Structure 1
Amino acid sequence: MNVFPVPDGDTGTNMYMTMAEGIRHIYYLNENSITEVSRVLANALIMSSKGNSGVILSQFLVDYLIN
């Protein structure tokens, strides 16, 4: 996924922070429709992605969630 990583050491942190923010958005969601949960999670991942690795991860997961 991350073909040309920058050796800055924060790839794991950025991916973790992206996922944590996505999960935070659906944790208290009063909705059990998989369509709505997927929509909210996809939006949260896009809006909260951190760094290049977070953007790559969010785009990969959004494509999976929406399609």
Structure 2
Amino acid sequence: MSVQGKKVVRMRGQRLTHASAVSPKALYARPMALRQLYADAGSVIRRGQQEARMAAEQTDNSR
């Protein structure tokens, strides 16, 4: 019987497959990238709300 598609590595009696191995850097980078993405999105939303308030105030003042 042969195993195809996955490379199996033995380290100290443990079996590790390359498909399931995730580097610690990748585990750290993803949440940091998502945090930055949500922070950027929040600042864009707040800026848009502030501009909408200012536009509404200008239309109220012109009446």
TM-score by length of 1: 0.32
Higher normalized helix content (fraction of residues): 1
Greater C-alpha Rg:
2
TM-score by length of 2: 0.33
